[in-house]
Amino acid sequence: MALKSTIYKADLQIADMDRHYYGDHSLTIARHPSETDERMMVRVAAFGMFADERLEFCKGLSDTDEPDLWQKDLTGQIQTWIEVGQPDERRISKASGRSERVIVIAYAGKTADIWWNGVKGKVERLQNVTVWSLADGIAEALGKLAERTMRLQMMVQDGDVTLGSETADAVAIRWNVLKDGAA
């Protein structure tokens, strides 16, 4: 018998002064049985960093044809494709052809560096792809925010990003830009 996803609920308040985006989002997050708290919370942080009224969680690990998050326009065309983790270059290339903008957020420290060295040559030529690597320890700190029901606050100001909850200290989210997309 296959294990089912665990459902998490999050009320996420976003104050993004850099983009002048302010919103409250009630999120339902399906955590795949093989997914860690760290990966799930990186997905939540990605949602907050790129929040838009049409940004939504996808099936992610449950469906290889969908990213972790995407934003579609009113015609159903994919505008933004967001991957969390270390996808192979074929997946990134496919996403680049299917959407206007692709964002990859790698995490896991040294293994993310090894992954990037392996895909860098093929991914660098893709104009609409942005690749970030979270600084060491950030994913683990985000994982500590995970609860079945969460009330989270995200603040973005002058490039500084923090994500916190009522029950835990805020996490400063820092990343290295490995590739900056043109789109």
For 67-112, give the secondary structure using H, E and C: CCEEEECCCCCEEEEEEECCCCHHHHHHHHHHEEEEEEEECCCHHH
58 belongs to a structural domain: yes
Work out the average pLDDT over 91-112. Answer: 94
84 belongs to a structural domain: yes
Q: Among candidates 81, 138, 131, which has minimal Cα distance to 104? A: 131
Residue whose token pair is 């690749």: 131
Which pLDDT score is estimated for 65?
81
Residue 60 has pLDDT above 80, yes or no: no
Confidence of residue 16 (pLDDT cuts 50, 70, 90): very high
Residue 59 has pLDDT above 80, yes or no: no
153 belongs to a structural domain: yes
Residue whose token pair is 């049985």: 33
Residue 168 has pLDDT above 80, yes or no: yes
Q: State the Cα–Cα distance between residues 25 and 33, nearest whole angstrom.
A: 24
Domain that holds residue 21: 6-179
Residue 183 has pLDDT above 60, yes or no: no
Which pLDDT score is estimated for 1?
54
128 belongs to a structural domain: yes
Confidence of residue 181 (pLDDT cuts 50, 70, 90): confident
Which pLDDT score is estimated for 2?
64
Residue 93 φ then ψ, to 5°? -65, -40
Q: How many distinct structural domains can be found in the chain?
A: 1
Residue 77 φ then ψ, to 5°? -70, 135
Tens digit of pLDDT for each residue in 102-156? 999 999 888 999 999 999 999 999 999 999 999 999 999 999 999 999 999 999 9
94 belongs to a structural domain: yes
138 belongs to a structural domain: yes
Domain of residue 18, CATH code: 3.10.640.10
Which pLDDT score is estimated for 5?
84
1 belongs to a structural domain: no
24 belongs to a structural domain: yes
Mean model confidence pLDDT for the chain: 93
